[in-house]
Amino acid sequence: MIDESRAALPNEGVPAEQVLAEIRELRATDRPTHGGRLFAYVYDPAVPGLDALAAAAYAESAHVNGLDPTAFPSLLAMENMLVAAAARLLGGGPDTSAPDVVGSVTSGGTESLILAVKTARDARPDIAAPRIVVPASAHAAFAKAAHYLRVELDTVPVDPTTLRPAAADVAAAIRPETVLVACSAPSYAHGVVDPVEQIAEVAAAAGVRCHVDACFGGWTLPYLRRLGVPVPPFDLAVPGVTSISVDLHKYAYAPKGVSVLLHRDPQLRAPQYFAYADWPGYTMINPVISSTRSGGPIAAAYATLRHLGDDGYLELTRRTWAAVRTLADAVRGTDGLRLAAEPESTVVCLTATDDGPDLFVLVDELAVRGWHTQPQLSYAGLPPSVHLTVTAAVAPRAAEFGSDLADAVTTARAAGPVGLPPELRALAGTLAPEALTGDLVAGLAAGLGLGPGGGLPDRMAPVNTLLDAAPPALRERLLVEFVSLLQRPAW
């Protein structure tokens, strides 16, 4: 039965106001993107008028096509200005040790990292089976890049206390087939800055490119440094760093769809381009993965940067850092919890002490109290943890967090961990991913409250507890199955 009242393509068009009202109604089920209580997915500076400015700028250029910069010089100009701004912030440009820096605007961190890997791979056509070396804490986008590009991924463990890789381990992992070494500044999961200087040095000694993934925090680290927070060298000022990425849709507070990938010089960037003239249509020359792309996100990012300005970002970083310290103090002051790492950027990552609460239950209890945090599963000897991406919007709310956290811990302790049936726990620990059948997935999903077509349980602790009991390969399979259950056409 087709529900015409909600069809994306109704028989007769629906008036504009009604369509917008419908979207607002759908949005009411989302987590709150504003208000400083959502600690992942969104980056909110809470600057009055900024959303309206970005939306207006977006609308100006929404129909401009980045496919051909000669047809739309406005986009080329704005891209070049964004690249220059990112380069200046990250140790490049005139009067620096990276005067020839060049870059591209991509759709996001994942695209920037895929392109960094592709560029390094294509710079070495002599290597038949290319490999990249990344810390175990590197963003999953490197694994995606390796998967898409058929490059082998060599991961280097991180120290369980510092959560950083050792440069000596990176050096040992470099092989003759290695085309790229990468590190994070900072890592997403824990917010720690890798020893970029030492890693870049071992990469350079081996004649290998070194990419710094500053997608998450590249826009805040320079401002944190100016505020007196100790930030180790991490950018193009470090010899041996050949490329660096920073997402403008994170801490530059631009609407989603904009990241910048910088290369130290044009020669290093050259293999990034894809050109094709061997067909009867237009010759295609793409610096990035998409061909047709909207000018909207680029214009919105340009407007955001120009409106906030350097002093604006400094002030927003000051507020964010104050919020980080308040939240970190709340964790330190809560019995049963500890910081997974001392905050050195804009992440607060907490974990439980031996006699602490179950973290997955805690995350649900925090959500009940209006705080939306992100659970991280145990991995390679690291315990489960809770991730908080802190943005400037959190500052006015931060003081309220401590009492709710303490309260949530008390409730989570009293409730205890989710009791998975022993046979289910055993299954999660032993099942080979390829042995997962459709029936088994459907049974598990129903038991966990995941319904076809979008049904989600109120509490996620049972899902997270089951996933946590499974090794990564089974987690991946289970989540693919669960998500594909949710992604069904709405008739």
* Nearest CB to ligand PLP, comparing residues 93 and 108: 108
> What is the nearest approach in angstroms of ligand PLP to the Cβ of residue 420?
29
Two structure tokens written together for 147? 């998967």
Identify whether the C-beta of residue 244 lies closer than 8 Å to the C-beta of residue 90: yes
Please list, residue by residue across 182-214, b when 16 or more beta carbons sit within 10 angstroms of its beta carbon and e when fewer do.
bbbbbbbbbbbbbbbbbbbbbbbebebbbbbbb
- Residues 113-132 vs ligand PLP: string with x where CB under 6 A? x-------------------
Residues in the chain: 491
Residue 201 or residue 247: which is nearer to ligand PLP going by CB? 247
Of residues 82, 91, 101, 110, which one binds ligand PLP by CB under 6 A? 110
Residues 191, 186: Cα–Cα separation, whole Å: 5
Q: Which is nearer to ligand PLP, 188 or 253 (CB)?
A: 188
What would the two tokens of residue 42 be? 């969104």
**Closer to ligand PLP by Cβ: residue 110 or 334:** 110
Least distance to ligand PLP, CB of residue 261, Å: 11
Please report how close the Cβ of residue 357 comes to ligand PLP at its closest, in angstroms: 26
User: How many Cβ atoms from other residues are within 10 Å of residue 158's Cβ?
Assistant: 24
Q: Output 285 or 289, the one with its CB closest to ligand PLP.
A: 289
Under rule CB under 6 A, which residues in 266-325 are in contact with ligand PLP?
A: none
The one-letter code for the residue type at 283 is T
Q: Is the dihedral of CA 284, 286, 289, 292 positive or negative?
A: negative
Least distance to ligand PLP from the beta carbon of 41, Å? 9
Helix axis angle for 472-486 and 461-469, nearest 10°, is: 140
Interface map 165-184 toward ligand PLP (x if CB under 6 A): -------------------x
Token couple for 236: 């193009």
Tell me the two tokens of residue 32. Answer: 């709150």
Residue whose structure tokens are 């056509």:
125
Q: Which CB atom, from 247 or from 468, has the smaller least distance to ligand PLP?
A: 247
By CB under 6 A, tell whether 213 contacts ligand PLP. Answer: yes
- State which of positions 237-266 bind ligand PLP (CB under 6 A): 247
Residue least distant from ligand PLP (Cβ)? 109
Using CA atoms, how far residue 104 sits from 88, 107, 226, in Å, is 14, 10, 26
CB of 94 to ligand PLP, least distance (A): 28
Would you tell me how many other CB atoms lie within 10 Å of the CB of residue 472?
12
Nearest distance from C-beta of residue 108 to ligand PLP, angstroms: 3
Whole-angstrom CA distances from 308 to 46, 65, 225, 253, 317 are: 12, 26, 19, 9, 12
Distances (CA, A) of 256 to 2, 184, 251: 33, 21, 11
Instruction: Give the one residue of 141, 180, 252, 316 binding ligand PLP; rule: CB under 6 A.
Output: 141
- 216 vs 234, beta carbon nearer ligand PLP: 216
From 39, 43, 216, 223, residue interacting with ligand PLP (rule: CB under 6 A) = 216
Q: Site for ligand PLP (CB under 6 A): how many residues?
A: 12
Q: Which of 36, 45, 92, 108 binds ligand PLP (CB under 6 A)?
A: 108
Question: How far does the chain reach from its first CA to its final CA, in angstroms?
Answer: 7
Binding site for ligand PLP (CB under 6 A): 108-110, 113, 139, 141, 184, 188, 213, 215-216, 247
